[in-house]
Amino acid sequence: MASYNIAVIAGSLRKESYNRRLAQALIGLAPERLKPELVEIGDLPLFNQDHEKSPALAVSTFKAKIKSADAVLFVTPEYNRSIPGVLKNALDTGSRPYGESAWLHKPAAIAGTSPGAMSSALAQQHLRNVLTALDMPTMPQPEVFIHFAEGLISPGGTVSNEGTAKFLRSFLDAFVKWIERNR
C-alpha cells in the first residue's frame, strides 16, 4: 500500500493555540500510511504581487514543501466568522504567480477546534470556498468541529478523551480514502 506525505497547516501562529494542539494530535494519531509534517506559515511575508518574480526564501521553501506533499490537512481556528488572515496569506502566497500554484489538485481535508459553541464551522466553510477556487478537492465528510475544553488536548497533542481520539482516527482513515480517490 502507498504512503502519502501530508502537509499539515495550522491556521494559528500562537504557540499554545488550540488548533496547533489539534494539528499535533492529528499528526500523532495518523495511520502509518500518512506521513504528516507541520508546515509553518508564520515566516511568510505578506503577499505582494510585486515580489512574485523574486520570492523571499521563506516563500520558495513553503511552496516547495506544499508541492512535495501528496495532500494537505488544514487545521483552522475561526476569527470573526472567517479564516485567520495568516492562513489566507499562506493560501494566496502558495497560489502565485498565476499558473504556478503549489495547491493545484492537492486533495485536502479541514479540521478545527474552538471553545465556542459553533467551533470553527464558519471558518471551515469559508476555507472550502477558497480551496474550490484553488482547485483542491476537499473532503466533504466527516467534518471535524471539536468543541475545545481545557485538558482535552495537551500542548504536545495528546488527546485525553478516547471517544475524541477514535473520531479523529476515523477522520484520518477517511482522509486516506479521499486521497486515493483524488490523486
Q: What is the CATH number of the domain that holds 130?
A: 3.40.50.360
Question: Which residues, 6 or more positions from 15, have their beta carbon under 8 angstroms from its beta carbon?
Answer: none
Domain residues for the domain of 15 are 4-181
pLDDT in tens, the chain (183 residues): 899 999 999 999 998 899 999 999 999 999 999 999 999 999 999 999 999 999 999 999 999 999 999 999 999 999 999 999 999 999 999 999 999 999 999 999 999 999 987 889 999 999 999 999 999 999 999 999 999 999 999 999 999 999 999 999 999 999 999 999 998
Residue type, position 174, single letter: A
- Cβ atoms within 10 Å, residue 75: 30
Determine contact, residues 111/74, Cβ cutoff 8 Å.
yes
Residue type, position 20, single letter: R
- What would you measure as the largest C-alpha separation in the chain, in angstroms? 49
Determine contact, residues 95/103, Cβ cutoff 8 Å.
yes
Name the domain count of the chain: 1
Question: Which residues, 6 or more positions from 42, have their beta carbon under 8 angstroms from its beta carbon?
Answer: 13, 86
The Cα–Cα gap between 133 and 129 comes to 7
Show the cell assigned to 171. Answer: 477522520
